[in-house]
Structure 1
């Protein structure tokens, strides 16, 4: 007689991304939220924060995007489809850098993950067609998921776009053009639409209804108490029978023996 034994829960850590349009305060709030956690997570900083990173493939690709965008604050170089693929490649490189930490059970916090790439590039491809932008954003996320797992939890920090634009201009000591402000408003709206399509993964922190203190505490709680079942995850391109990329166990979920 063959006995069937259910495999235990995966021992890996959690991957959490924090998303939102520039100026919503996600970096500021998240830094304060981290001080409320019982343990300090490993951090993957967002693109704009990487000014002095060691030379590697990810930093080289990011440098090429910056040069091609000629100072555009949103890294727009005029070829949004190609830029989307480069940005997704950088996000795969980011995951490679923390696989060992996730495998060791550590919480990893990612600023601007694949969701930001999908949403921003979708708006660039369809600036005047919200429905097409939403379809493209979800398609880009599916593409990303074909070669790297999506975050276990995505925290979307959102706000009134005008307030976000005002904060970003004050912080960066700049004035956005009308086109740049319109782009930000479209990205903000699309982020909320994408979040609504995947309520199991997304948690929304809306600063239109939450003050700074409450928003900080909520982000800290969402990071600390990620209510997801940490199942094994295989390299998507290797197929469903591939072992977990973190703990190495087979992916059928069962062990059999006589």
Structure 2
């Protein structure tokens, strides 16, 4: 089993690219994932807003990390040592970055330190992906996609959180294989993602 996680800020178009990659098992984002009844119930309990903020950020963080570990356990049970490629839409890094941003109250340095600690903690519960791909695009294009998908503009709070997440991803570039949609057309971006699924780490 080979595991590839795709990361990126809201509106970057990663889910659209993932949908076009052939011959993989796709795992949707946790909020959209109906993997099993337990996951469904816990995600429903976190359904406070688009970013799963219920007002209890520590409980939210550990719930999401636990669900990420459960996701891996379910996939390992289903696919074991087979040659299948798992293509995960958002993984541990999303949890680490967005929850660190929520917990840091806008302090990027504190958020980066916390995100790294959360990544390391998660690695004790499930192995890191064989490859993590970061999809990037310009901010205005991402915002336009968000508006089209959600049918509204982000609130000031959501916009602030997305901007901080984008800054944190930029500070962690060394951890990622980059697909820059500013330099690639859609077909090229899909091919780059397919290559990331097929290349050895």
* Matched length: 200
Q: Using the TM superposition, give the Cα deviation of residue 93 of structure 1 relative to its aligned residue in structure 2, in angstroms.
A: 1.0
Choose 40-49 or 163-172, whichever is displaced more. 40-49
Q: Using the TM superposition, give the Cα deviation of residue 54 of structure 1 relative to its aligned residue in structure 2, in angstroms.
A: 6.0
2:6–2:89 contact (8 Å) kept in structure 1 = yes
Q: How does 1:195-214 map to 2 (within 5 A)?
A: 195-196=173-174, 198=175, 202-214=176-188
Q: Which residue of 2 aligns with 1:140?
A: 118
Runs ≥4 in structure 1, deviation > 4 angstroms?
A: none
Q: Which residue of 1 aligns with 2:129?
A: 151
Choose 173-182 or 135-144, whichever is displaced more. 173-182
* The structure with more helix, counted as a fraction of residues: 2
Aligned match of 2:15 in 9, 22, 27? 27
SS at match of 1:103: coil
CA distance in 1, matches of 2:51, 2:98: 9
Superposed CA deviations along residues 148-204 of structure 1, whole A, max 9, x for unmatched, are 1111100111122232121111122122112211211111121121233x3xxx201
What RMSD in Å do the two structures reach over aligned CA positions?
A: 1.5
Superposed CA deviations along residues 103-144 of structure 1, whole A, max 9, x for unmatched, are 223211111111100000011111321111111100000010
1:14–1:102 contact (8 Å) kept in structure 2 = no
- List alignment gaps of at least 5 residues for structure 1: 1-12, 229-258
2:57–2:103 contact (8 Å) kept in structure 1 = yes
TM-score (norm 1): 0.73
TM-score (norm 2): 0.93
Question: Are residue 182 (structure 1) and residue 160 (structure 2) matched?
Answer: yes
- List alignment gaps of at least 5 residues for structure 2: none
**Which of 1 and 2 has greater Rg?**
1
1:165–1:181 contact (8 Å) kept in structure 2 = no
2:68–2:91 contact (8 Å) kept in structure 1 = yes
Aligned match of 2:94 in 90, 95, 116? 116
CA distance in 2, matches of 1:216, 1:109: 13
Shift of the 138–24 alpha-carbon distance from structure 1 to 2, 3 Å rule, reads same
